[in-house]
Structure 1
Amino acid sequence: MIRDSFCRKLCRLSLACLGAGLASAAISQSGDTLPQAPSYVGEIRRGADGKLIALPEAELALQKRWGEAAPKATMRVGSGEKISTLTEAARLARDGEVIEIRPGNYRGQPAVWTQDNLLIRGVGERPVMLADGRSAEDKATWVVRGGHVRIENIEFRGARSSHANGAGIRFERGELTVQGCRFADNEMGILTANQAAMTLTVSDSEFADAPRDARDVHHLLYVGAIGKFVLRGSRFENGYLGHLVKSRARENHILYNMLVDGANGRASYELEFPNGGIAYVIGNVIGQSAGTDNPSLVAFGAEGQRWPENALYLAHNTLLNDAHAGSFLSVWAERFTGGLDVWAINNLSVGNGNFFQPAQGRFEGNRTVGRGELIEYAGVPSRLANLSPLRGTVRVPGRAGEMDLLPNAEFAAPAGTRPVRVSSSLSPGAFQ
């Protein structure tokens, strides 16, 4: 009796499963009966009130960068918004605004930003500022002379001016931070004024494609005589006659960048400090092309002294020379009346060229390697092979004042940095 009851239940269960399977098969064969895939609205999070909410991708990216304190937009710009142009946005913005720019191409919309505590950010796919023959004040696509200004995730392309120095951004006053931006085909990527109170920080950004104009010199990034310049985790390539990076700043921090001109580039210096100052150059890959008209990769002091304190600290860089000859480092020490310290420590040089010991300072741990002994990273031969005999051959570089010369990060393609933990087996060059 019990066995019969159990069998009847098992039979009903089997028939139910079979029916469900047949129904499922029928649905799978009839495409128009399938429900549409739900639209992705964002990552699910629990809000402050305890309810589940969908956090859009753009806002999620901001929170990852800023933490939970990501500021909310107070103005939105773009197609379909109340404010559709950047020219109008700059005119209407007030101090403390958080301006979000929607994806798209913004043609011929120059802007002058004079506000303080301003955050301007592209949301989602990077919006592109196309100069289209127009500029603000005949200077740049954007002129920035506010107080504290931060610009994120914007591309600047095609800037021109009647003076042949049209910039993606012309920075004239205050403190400016540029993060995750791209500059291409501008007469100058960023160009600054000459005020000692100014500070410029550029991180995780890309600079490329100087105009092919033999009548003028165009630098991808030109920093004037400002107080402080920080360049970190950024990539530069394809210059033409001008420099990849030129800085007259009093204090320079050039950290974990890829300054490699590339096969089609014809930049002059890859990195120049014409008036000296204090320069910390740590953990960079710096590469000169075969087509350069200037044989030096890094230059210091060519135009003479401007600042009372001057020193160059070149540590853990990989220096690549594709030209038939040249100098990895050129220093005009005789042009500094108060003396000049130059430290070159644990650098890795690749290719033909001279790496002379400076007259005053430290010169140790520098090694030379053949191109075939390196592994390519981001299309550039720059990493020592795992079994390279040069691994573990250098010592900790120590400190220069308050600055530790031991790298704690390395460049991460396409632009950015990643932290590194240096072991006791320390290698020369930009990558451990």
Structure 2
Amino acid sequence: MRPTLSVLLGCLLCTVTLVPADAGGPRTWRVGPDRELRTPSAAAAVARDGDTVLIDPGTYVGDVATWTQDDLTLRGDGGRAHLRAAGASAQGKAIWVIAGDRTTVDLVELSGATVPDGNGAGIRQEGTDLTVTRSWFHHNQDGILTGADPASDIVIRRSRFFRNCAGDGLTHNIYVGAVRSLTVTGSYLWGADTGHELKSRAARNTIVGNLITDRDATASYSIDLPNGGRSLVAGNVVVQGPRSENSALVSYGAEGLTGTPQLWVVGNTFVNRRPAGTFVDLAAGSRAELRNNLLVGPGELTSLAGVPSRANLRVGRGTFVDPAHDDFRLRAGSPALDRGVRVPQRWRVRWEYVHPAGQVRRPVVGRTDLGAFERR
């Protein structure tokens, strides 16, 4: 019997979906419950270097994958695509194990990764270079966990990390190994369970324009740079909660300084809700500059004597719009207005955080205001 027209058209559409006409160039794969490829793992089996995988909104329960392709883009299409582990893992490591190089992940949500060895991650990065944007990581043992790769650059923008960690102090919202560089901007990190909100062993760290807050969690350091590195911590709101298990907000070099031990801490709003603490804890031998920061609550600015520091001001909660809800924009008449000192161009604050996970260029309005926000 000869095939009907509808059957022929159906076969043609399948061919277009699965094998684009230019079979030698980059391809776009569409994933969704009503598509030929119903899950991201199905796309992982057919994608090649340079391809794009567009994932329909929805929840993909128990679907895990290892991505081995280079120059791959994985993107939620039309809304965030939620990968919920539900006890599954790729290679016993993560929801997504990314083994290829130069991967971009955009508009996805990864939750619930748990594995027997205790460090199940939303993403386990094993390739070189990763860019993550507009994505959520929550209720995993680690949000993102990377290995050591001195050629790798990790970039995280406009993303959320919350309620990750296994409660053992060894897992964290973000844990980046000894890579070449880490950049985190416009992101919202909160509620780490015993671990750190952000831990990085990168040789260079740029942590600018984020909200990092423990809220009610038993987090440890807000920012942990255990091996130091050439690092900029600027324009962040960093809030240590009353249940934090470590008295320092930023820790630098606690596990031994390597590389270039240079730290600039510029234009942050630091809030300590514990009865005591240290805002910036520095290992002996650190080279640090602390300028234009606002301090709220008790504690010493730094643990190391003789550190160059200028225009760091302790203020009360009345300085801010709504500190009870982590809104630390400045009120009119604040003593922080127009009090900043000059900072070398490469260390200046370029970004401001926009809640719940965004960023805008920090404006120039007369003399620089202290803290994480410039009053318009």
Same-fold status (TM-score > 0.5):
yes
* Aligned equivalent of 1:13: none
**1:290 is the counterpart of 2:242:** yes
* Aligned equivalent of 1:207: 161
* Aligned equivalent of 2:264: 313
Q: Provide closer, same or farther for how the CA distance between residues 73 and 317 of structure 1 changes in structure 2, counting only shifts above 3 A.
A: farther
**1:331 is the counterpart of 2:282:** yes
User: For residues 69-148 of structure 1, what are the structure 2 equivalents within 5 Å?
Assistant: 74-148=28-102
Runs (4 or more) in structure 1 with deviation over 6 Å come to none
Residue 277 of structure 1 is aligned with which of 229, 233, 238?
Answer: 229
* Aligned equivalent of 2:19: none
* TM-score after normalising by structure 2: 0.89
**1:372 is the counterpart of 2:323:** no
One-letter identity of the residue aligned with 2:337: R
* Aligned equivalent of 1:304: 256
One-letter identity of the residue aligned with 1:417: Q
Residue 193 of structure 1: CA displacement? 0.3
* Aligned equivalent of 1:61: none
Secondary structure in 2 matching 1:198: strand
Secondary structure in 1 matching 2:54: strand
Q: Is the 8 A contact 1:328 1:353 kept in 2?
A: yes
Q: Provide closer, same or farther for how the CA distance between residues 303 and 293 of structure 1 changes in structure 2, counting only shifts above 3 A.
A: same
Secondary structure in 1 matching 2:301: coil
Structure 1 stretches lacking a partner, 5+ long:
1-71
As a proportion of its length, which structure holds more helix?
Answer: 1
* Aligned equivalent of 1:176: 130
Q: Is the 8 A contact 1:371 1:381 kept in 2?
A: no
Q: Is the 8 A contact 1:342 1:358 kept in 2?
A: no
Residue 355 of structure 1 is aligned with which of 297, 301, 315?
Answer: 301
Residue 224 of structure 1 is aligned with which of 165, 177, 189?
Answer: 177
- Flag the structure with larger Rg: 1
* Aligned equivalent of 2:12: none
**1:166 is the counterpart of 2:117:** no
One-letter identity of the residue aligned with 2:355: A
* Aligned equivalent of 2:147: 193
Residue 205 of structure 1: CA displacement? 0.1
Secondary structure in 2 matching 1:197: strand
Q: Is the 8 A contact 1:341 1:360 kept in 2?
A: no
Q: Provide closer, same or farther for how the CA distance between residues 126 and 422 of structure 1 changes in structure 2, counting only shifts above 3 A.
A: same
Residue 361 of structure 1: CA displacement? 4.9
Superposition CA RMSD, Å? 1.7
As a proportion of its length, which structure holds more strand?
Answer: 2
Looking at structure 1, the residues matched to 71 and 323 of structure 2 have their Cα atoms a distance apart, in angstroms, of 38
**1:268 is the counterpart of 2:210:** no
* Aligned equivalent of 1:422: 364
Residue 423 of structure 1: CA displacement? 2.0
Query: Larger RCO: Structure 1 or Structure 2 (Cα < 8 Å, ≥ 6 residues apart)?
Result: 2
Structure 2 stretches lacking a partner, 5+ long:
1-25
For 1:320-363, what per-residue CA distance to the aligned partner results, in whole angstroms no more than 9, with x for missing partners? 01111111110112xx4xxx310100000101111137445521
Secondary structure in 1 matching 2:308: strand
Number of equivalences: 350
One-letter identity of the residue aligned with 2:31: V
